[in-house]
Amino acid sequence: MTPDKIRNIAIIAHVDHGKTTLVDGLLRASGNFRENQAIAERAMDSMDLEREKGITIKAKNTSVHWNDYIINIVDTPGHADFGGEVERVMKMVDGVMLVVDAYEGPQAQTRFVLKKALEQGIKPIVLINKMDRPHIEPQKVHDKVLELFLELDATEEQFNAAFVYGSARAGWVTDSPTGEQHDMTFLLGKIVEHIPAPKAEVEGCFEMLVSNIDWDNFVGRVAIGKVTRGSVKLGDKVFLLGKTPEEKAIPVKVTKVFQYTTLTTSDSVEGIAGDIVGISGFEDVDIGQTVAGSADAVALPFVAIDPPTIVMQ
Ligand code: GDP
């Protein structure tokens, strides 16, 4: 597996425009749903508060294995209170799928997350969703999205985003509002075609920026991030670089490597360049730290996160 067979994508949308339904649809269509089902449910809807309030609080993830490709799908919080977290997600991915309700059109959170993505130079694919709804005007919504791109200073490449129309709930997508309907794997093809492969060096000293932390009952803290160079496997000795150049690197023996998205593991899982994985073995590790194969490696640029303020309605 090489980086050209990997795609790392975030799905961004205003609340209720269909992110969760879309991810379920993609998992089902690719045949990954059964094995991932419990995990996907947990991953996409795990926090009670989120269920109650209908807002995505923590970036969460899943992955689709399709036609020799690994497509890592990173969920993003749409709420402005999680600005820092959105930025961290944008650093991990190479493209976004912007989901917009064909009836409602772009809303406040559409604008907020799209702005973050465009600022990072990320290329979007736009899915005009809920095409099965009555009284929709997809062409108008298409134009509104393009207006938003202009307002947010999209580059020419970003502005020329691919548009796809469909119904995540009914499980079909098409190239144009009146075009032929295809199953959801069509969308996976669009992702592979339009989203660039991750920029990562296969050879060289292992390097990963910790972008998220999870917890596993057996191994404790799991540091999650994109492998930007080299690879990592069970038993490797790596270094957790200090938070400042003065702070010493701490040697760490890797006790597990997790396929990040499903947070499943086997002893043979290897974190390869371009993929997003979880690794354990740390006594302590924070988001923003770099894990590297050498104590002398240079820390990757850090994106601080704002403490989340949860606004109760
Ligand atoms: P999220 O908040 O973006 O994750 O949105 P959900 O996936 O939870 O969807 C919000 C609501 O919209 C749910 O009631 C879904 O069943 C509904 N929904 C999602 N996709 C579609 C669609 O393609 N068509 C219609 N009519 N409803 C949809």
Q: How far does residue 94's CA lie from ligand 1's centre (Å)?
A: 25
- In 3-state terms, what secondary structure has residue 303? coil
Taking the centre of ligand 1 as the mean of its atom positions, its distance from the CA of residue 168, in whole angstroms, is 7
Which residue CA neighbors atom 27 of ligand 1 most closely? 130
State residue 260's pLDDT score. 63
Does the model's ipTM exceed the 0.85 cut?
A: yes
Check whether 21 is labelled as a binding-site residue: yes
Q: Taking a C-beta distance cutoff of 8 angstroms, is the pair 7, 95 a contact? A: yes
| Predicted pLDDT of residue 54 | 36
pLDDT at 270: 87
107 to 30, 57, 114, 162, 276: CA distances (angstroms):
30, 18, 11, 20, 30
Nearest CA to ligand 1 atom 10: 16
Distance 18 CA to ligand 1 centre (A): 4
Cα three-residue angle 9-164-71, rounded to 5 degrees: 25
Q: What SS3 class is residue 299? A: coil
**Structure confidence at residue 50 (pLDDT):** 45
Does the annotation flag 17 for ligand binding? Answer: yes
Work out the angle at residue 145's Cα, subtended by the Cα atoms of residues 139 and 149, and round it to the nearest 5 degrees.
140
Q: Which atom of ligand 1 is nearest to the CA of 167?
A: 23
CA of 284 to the centre of ligand 1 (A): 39
- Calpha distance 289→299 (Å, rounded): 7
Predicted local distance difference test score (pLDDT) of residue 80: 61
Q: What integer pLDDT is reported at residue 32 of this predicted model?
A: 64
Residues of the chain short of pLDDT 50, as ranges, are 34-40, 42-59, 305-313
Q: What sign results for the dihedral spanned by CA atoms 177, 178, 182, 186?
A: negative
Residues having CB closer than 6 A to ligand 1 are: 13, 15-21, 129-130, 132-133, 167-169
Ligand 1 nearest atom to the CA of residue 13, by list position: 3
pTM of the model: 0.85
Q: What angle do CA 185, 146, 168 make, to 5 degrees?
A: 25
Query: What is the Å distance from ligand 1's center to 129 Cα?
Result: 9
User: Which residues, in sequence order, are CB contacts of 66 under 8 Å at separation 6+?
Assistant: 30, 32, 185, 188
The type of residue at 37 is Q
Measured between alpha carbons, how far is 215 from 220 in angstroms, rounded to an integer?
5
Pairing between strand 250-253 and 256-259?
unpaired
**CA 310, CA 313: separation in Å to the nearest integer?**
10
Structure tokens at 228: 């930007």
Question: Which pLDDT value is given to residue 39?
Answer: 46
